[in-house]
Amino acid sequence: MTVVRNNPLGEKDFVETLIPQRFPFVMVDKLYSYSETELVSGFTIQSDALFLENDFFLESGIIEHMAQSVALHTGYQFYLKKMQAPTGYIGSVKDIEISQLPKLHDEIITTVSILQEFGGITLVDVVTKLDDVEIAKGQMKTVLAK
């Protein structure tokens, strides 16, 4: 899947309609690409971002960005079906490795790869990059509310 960074599918205002989080807790602001099995999102770290300390975006912010990227996949999937997306929850976080913290004004790009989806439970691999260099990865399981 090719990511065209100067032509995202959705910018901040649209993206925020697809996820349950609201300012100041929003940590995705671009939707670059979508398929049934993969999504690429972006987040440019601004001075009002939660989890920003001494101009570094902390580990907890990266993990929340990853989780919101998964939520964005679900939200866009329901948007395409012209349906309201249900609320989801993180069921588990596994094997998270973070090798570098991004800084204020950096844009992180995250790829969500769907490994399995059944009965409202989704297992994904998530990889976050900064300037095309992997800085975080892991697995998440999300559960849709009934």
What's the average model confidence in pLDDT over 129-135?
Answer: 97
> pLDDT at position 54, please?
97
∠ Cα 92 41 24 (to 5°): 75
Question: What tens digit of pLDDT does each residue of 22-62 get?
Answer: 888 899 999 999 999 999 999 999 999 999 999 999 999 99
What's the average model confidence in pLDDT over 60-73?
Answer: 95
> pLDDT at position 2, please?
44
Q: Which tokens in the block code for residue 137?
A: 């990865």
What is this structure's pTM? 0.92
Domains of the chain from N-terminus onward: 12-144 (3.10.129.10)
